[in-house]
Structure 1
Amino acid sequence: MHVPDGFLDAPTSIATGVVAAAAVGVALRGARRELDERTAPLAGLAAAFVFAAQMFNFPVGAGTSGHLLGGALAAVLVGPFTAVLCLSVVLLVQALMFADGGITALGTNVVLLGVVGVLAAWLVFRGLQSVLPQRVGLVAPLAAVSAFVAVPTAALAFVGLYAVGGTAPIPLDSLVTAMLGWHTLIGVGEAVITGLVVGSVVAARPDLVHGARRVMGRQELEIRTSPAPTTSTPAAEARP
């Protein structure tokens, strides 16, 4: 979903650049509350994994391929604010070093993948967590569901930007059909990868996973507040 140079007009690209810069500024402040000396290395690993995973494409049919977007994966592992920073750094390096996504479209790509993708995934993840049982074992499946939803959501956001400032001669209805159709399939791959990676990290170190901390706290509270079983002593049983 990396938007190239010239696909959107200059006013739209400038506007998304301003939004992206503001989002990164907010994320810088919010990441201070999400990271500590234990979880900071995980943020670097998450960014490195997303960068590497985006370099590999998987076929989805009819000569079309997709790759990991990484918003849901990063948000669940290190938190939504830190995830925005991770995706922004990845997109910047890809644009400058590999020409993957246009330089003038960098703000657009940050908004689509680093803001819309992360925000949609985190809202779905936390929404499901709030209504389902508080179990660490559900973190990976919920991350997979949020990843599946985030991909077509980001695709629809792109269609919205194209409707405002698109320069390519593509009918809007055809673009909506193509983007939703292919990115729904890409979302399946995104869900599988996200679920497997988050599940692996949760199995090894659930205390480092941002999306599992609140659940772990509630599970510990339930254990501590559960009434202890009452047992009768032989002396008490012998009393008349």
Structure 2
Amino acid sequence: MHVPDGFLNAPTSVATGAVAAAGVALALRKAQDELDERTAPLAGLTAAFVFAVQMLNFPVGVGTSGHLMGGALAAVLVGPWTAVLCLSVVLLVQGLLFADGGLTALGTNISLIGITTVVVGWVVTRAVLAVLSKRPASVVPAATIGALVSVPVAALVFVLLFAVGGEASLPLGTLTVSMLGWHTLIGIGEAVITGLTVSAVVAVRPDLVYAARGLRPALQLKQADGTLVPVGAPEPAGAAARGSVRPLLIGGSLVALALAGIVSFFASANPDGLEYVAEGEGFLETARDHAFGDFALADYGDVGGIPVGLAGILGVAVVVVIGVVLFRLVGGRSSARATENAVR
């Protein structure tokens, strides 16, 4: 659901840009509490994985397709504030290198995909976890439901923005039904991808999943009088041997590269849900050409004749580099602050 330039008027785009800037600024400060030297590389990998999977449009109906947004997935894996930064990096790289999502609409896309899906996905995930058993495996169904809900809610937010500043006049009831209908189907795909990914990470390294923190129940000893005394949660089997995050980073990087470099060739060529609705409702022509639409990597290499797989690999590499540098800086500030507080 990458919004192009031209769908929304200038005041609305400026307003969403301000919201995005404020959200990213707050995330830069709050993410310090979520990141450290061990989790910063994982956040970079999460951003690269989201970028790779967003290239894989899957069919959701006759003539249309959808792709992962990734807000709930990123929030569950690395925390909601870090997730906002992950999605913002992805959207920035997509807009600047691949002409995917308008430049004047960058704030809109960050507000919709980088903030709305993260907030909704995280809130729903936490709400579902509150009623499930307190164990890491519960994160999987909770994240699945959070992902499912986040997509149609983001679609509704777009409808509200269009009602305020859309560049075309059309019945909002029809637009709402169309956006909700198609993006509910896309949300099912989002839920499946999110559930499978979170399940894989929880199975291998539950200690690295942000949403699983604190879910391992404390071991209790029964005293002579029958009372139970908590003695702390046991370390998972093999935790010492699995202390390094390097195997997960290597494996995750290979998966992201394979998805972007190989599987992307088989992605659906049909327009995504927003483009399909825009064409059906008659406001697709309000979209303006991307400022970088003539660049070689535009449309993931299609403009410059570059194979989509090669463009995808380049995109993954760029996102990883930007993400790791950014998250190490943010995590480093957190470590420095903790050291300063300890000295005091």
- TM-score normalized with structure 1 length: 0.91
The residue type paired with residue 203 of structure 2 is A
Residues 136-170 of structure 1, C-alpha deviation per residue, up to 9 Å, x if partnerless?
Answer: 11111110110000000100000010000001343
- Whole-angstrom distance in 2 between the partners of 1:168 and 1:97: 28
Q: Could you tell me which residue of structure 1 aligns to residue 317 of structure 2? A: none
- Whole-angstrom distance in 2 between the partners of 1:193 and 1:39: 22
Q: Could you tell me which residue of structure 1 aligns to residue 170 of structure 2? A: 170
CA drift of 1:11 comes to: 0.2
Contact 1:69 / 1:151 at 8 angstroms: preserved in 2?
yes
Q: Could you tell me which residue of structure 2 aligns to residue 7 of structure 1? A: 7
CA drift of 1:205 comes to: 0.5
Q: Could you tell me which residue of structure 1 aligns to residue 315 of structure 2? A: none
Unaligned runs of at least 5 residues, structure 2? 226-344
- Whole-angstrom distance in 1 between the partners of 2:102 and 2:26: 24
Q: Could you tell me which residue of structure 2 aligns to residue 49 of structure 1? A: 49
**Identical amino acids, percent of aligned pairs:** 66
CA RMSD of aligned residues (A): 1.3
CA drift of 1:171 comes to: 2.3
**1:139 corresponds to 2:139:** yes
CA drift of 1:41 comes to: 1.1
The residue type paired with residue 113 of structure 1 is I
Q: Could you tell me which residue of structure 1 aligns to residue 126 of structure 2? A: 126
- Whole-angstrom distance in 1 between the partners of 2:102 and 2:194: 26
State the structure with bigger RCO (CA 8 A, min sep 6), 1 or 2: 2
The residue type paired with residue 213 of structure 2 is R
Q: Could you tell me which residue of structure 2 aligns to residue 74 of structure 1? A: 74
Q: Could you tell me which residue of structure 2 aligns to residue 227 of structure 1? A: 222
Residues 24-82 of structure 1, C-alpha deviation per residue, up to 9 Å, x if partnerless?
Answer: 00000111000111111110110000001111100000201000000000000000000
Change in Cα spacing, 1:59 to 1:155, as seen in structure 2 (3 Å) is same
Q: Which runs of 4+ in 1 moved over 2 A?
A: 168-171
Secondary structure, counterpart of 2:130 in structure 1: helix
Unaligned runs of at least 5 residues, structure 1? 231-240
The residue type paired with residue 165 of structure 2 is G
- Tell me the matched-pair count: 225
| Bigger share in helix | 1
134-143 or 42-51, which moves further after superposition? Answer: 134-143
Contact 1:38 / 1:208 at 8 angstroms: preserved in 2?
no
**1:19 corresponds to 2:8:** no
The residue type paired with residue 161 of structure 1 is L
Contact 1:27 / 1:85 at 8 angstroms: preserved in 2?
yes
Residues 190-228 of structure 1, C-alpha deviation per residue, up to 9 Å, x if partnerless?
Answer: 000000000100110111100001212xx1x2x1x2426
